[in-house]
Structure 1
Amino acid sequence: MSEVAEVGSRRFASPGRKGLPSWVWATGRTIISVAVTLFGLAALTFFIGRLLPLDPVAAVLGDNATQEAYDAMYRQLGLDQPLWVQFARYVWGILHLDFGTALTTGKPVMEDIARVFPATIELASVAIIIGTGLGIPMGVLAAMYRDTWIDQLSRVVGLIGYSAPNFWLGLMGLVLFYATLGWVAGPGRIDFTYEFDLEPVTGFLLIDSAMAGNWEMFGNAFSHIILPASILAFGAFAYISRMTRSFMIEQLSQEYVVTARVKGLSWSRTVWGHAFRNIAVQVVTVVALSYAFLLEGAVLTETVFAWPGFGRYLTNALLAGDMNAVVGCTLLVGVIFVTLNLLCDLLYRVFDPRTR
């Protein structure tokens, strides 16, 4: 036994190549993979932007600019340089967190993103709370009572959540809950009368108004955010409930569930106390990826509700041909997805020994 233990301990602590621990090599491979992914994303977006029939000079000066002004701006933007030189300069700027100047606002792209991104984070965070709070219980109940009316209801609601486009749901929601019933506030993030009543601290209106004790403003901000957040949450709810149901059905077919029932545990305690614990990491992964999709997929919802966030900023940049802003936003979305995927992978390695 002692020899076996000694061999096992040496194997567990075995160094990687050239005497380095294996975790060092794993970390290095992860960093290289992330760097290559982001570089490829930047290159793809940059060259597609240059091939599109959009004129950034016209976006800045307008269609009535003189030829002299056009040529001067063309050189100022560096468009007279070879394409590979433009890309090399752009990558050098990215390494210094400089995405250039947004042609639509005249400000640095990073400054614009820092201004609009908190609104999108707040919207997506409320949406994921709603989607997770409803989706996980619905998925578990659908698995517990498989092929009953609860399961059928879950499938129908999930099908609608997958099929109905967000912009249509948003318009119907505004017509019903705002224009007809008057239950919620209209488009925008807050009423104009409250815009200058609060000094922003975090950039999140709900948090800032609660910290300041301005509950009237908090109620107004909540009334504005609840409808677009619910529209976004509908799609997340459909995905989370469907995946939770699938994970739970697989667990409920395992032998330990039968053993727990034979020992006298109640059905609900068996499901929530044992089966759900075994799928918790998988569910967290689904929730994390859903959150990333909400951050990236809020474009149409923000447009419908005139929400001054990241999605609306990206839409305006696309319509104006502002490729500096488009590429900067695209890279940010890529960083979000890569980061959340890394966190999910780390959770798997921490809580599931089989993946180590």
Structure 2
Amino acid sequence: MPVGPRTRLILQRVLQALPALLGVVVVSFILTRALPGDPAAYFAGPAATAESIAEIRTTLGLDRSWPEQFVVYVVDLLQGDLGQSLSTGQPVLAELLRRLPASLELTLTALLLSCLIALPLGIAAAVHQGSWIDHACRVLVTAGVSLPTFFTGIALVYVFYYLLGWAPSPLGRLDFIYLSPPEVTGFYVLDALLAGDTETAWGALRQLALPAITLALFTLAPLARMARAAMLQALSSDYIRTARAAGLGERQIVYGYAFRNAMLPV
């Protein structure tokens, strides 16, 4: 059966990713076994006897040789078994799925916010090259790339929560005065709106604001830089010079022709 070029490309990418994936699996296995501490003793608790620790070690398969443990480790990974959490004792996969909606809500909000700011800012910086808008865009891009997210987050909490008191306490997804909305999507803001509880939705949105802004500042920088570079390339192209020579208005040239072509690589 002939294989198309797109299918062949996908297969090549998958085959190229296999060594890296295998390396990650091997390194993670070695780290979990080589680090100090006994997981069996941790699960058993401080008052456990040597017999109970040995029983837990046998249950976890830690009494086997490393090659045997590695085979079991890979088989469990292929079956979706990521082990048990040391802090909660629950399956890791269940813990990840339980926290996934909160992570997705934060990530999507930050991405939407960064797109709403970065794209207009990059386009305005390209259209008004050398102006204060262009310089502000460069400063923001440099700050977004150079400042680590943990520093930006701490600075925002210090200013807007500790100094100004505008933001709620940076703990959890909702303040203690609100009740969690009925779960539909797992997104607190959307679930509260679906339940008709605008007050809880507003509380969840306020709680989400500072973390979303922190992530947005990090993702905003490359988006604004790409938008500015793509717009500058579009504005210097031959068809834009032809449109200007034909007497078309600057607004139509920028937003009708240059903008649409500049957004393709972005």
The two structures have a TM-score, normalised by structure 1, of 0.68
Map 1:58-207 onto structure 2 (within 5 A): 58-62=41-45, 65-187=48-170, 188-196=172-180, 198-207=181-190
Mapping of residues 1-356 of structure 1, within 5 Å: 19-62=2-45, 65-187=48-170, 188-196=172-180, 198-283=181-266
Distance 2:9 2:142 in 1: 40
Which is further off, 47-56 or 158-167?
Answer: 47-56
AA of the residue aligned to 2:75: W
Shift of residue 27 of structure 1?
3.7
8 Å CA contact 1:59, 1:104 repeated in 2: no
How many residue pairs are counted as aligned between the two chains? 265
Q: Which has the higher helix share?
A: 1
The answer for unaligned runs of 5 or more in structure 1 is: 1-17, 284-356
CA distance in 2, matches of 1:27, 1:111: 31
- Bigger relative contact order (CA 8 A; separation at least 6): 1
- Cα distance, 1:107 vs structure 2: 1.2
How far apart, CA to CA, are the structure 1 residues paired with 2:120 and 2:234? 16
* Contact 1:143 1:151 survives alignment (8 Å): yes
TM-score by length of 2: 0.89
The residue identity in structure 2 corresponding to 1:157 is L
Q: For 2:178, give the aligned amino acid.
A: Y
**SS of residue in 2 equivalent to 1:193:** coil
**In structure 2, distance between residues paired with 1:35 and 1:79:** 27
Deviations 1:38-57 (A, max 9, x none): 34332332223323334323
CA distance in 1, matches of 2:264, 2:65: 48
Structure-2 change in CA distance of 1:33 and 1:155 (3 Å): same
- C-alpha contact 1:190 1:224 (8 A) present in aligned 2: yes
Report % sequence identity. Answer: 35
Which amino acid is 2:12 matched to? R
CA contact (8 A) 2:106 2:212 kept: yes
Change (3 A) 1:19 1:135: closer
Q: Is the 8 A contact 1:128 1:236 kept in 2?
A: yes
C-alpha distance in 1 between matches for 2:18 and 2:196: 44
The code of the aligned residue for 2:162 comes to A
Instruction: Report if the CA contact (8 A) 1:161-1:237 is conserved.
Output: yes
| Helix, strand or coil at the partner of 2:263 | helix
The answer (yes or no) to whether the contact 2:182–2:192 under 8 Å persists in 1 is no
Give structure 2 stretches of 5+ with no counterpart: none
CA offsets, 1:47-74, max 9 Å, x none?
2332333432343234554333332222
C-alpha spacing 1:268/1:85, structure 2 compared with 1 (3 Å): farther
Give the CA deviation at 1:133.
0.5
2:22 and 2:147 mapped to 1: Cα distance? 35
Quick one: structure 1 residues 267 and 85, their matched pair in 2 at CA, closer, same or farther if it must change by over 3 Å? farther
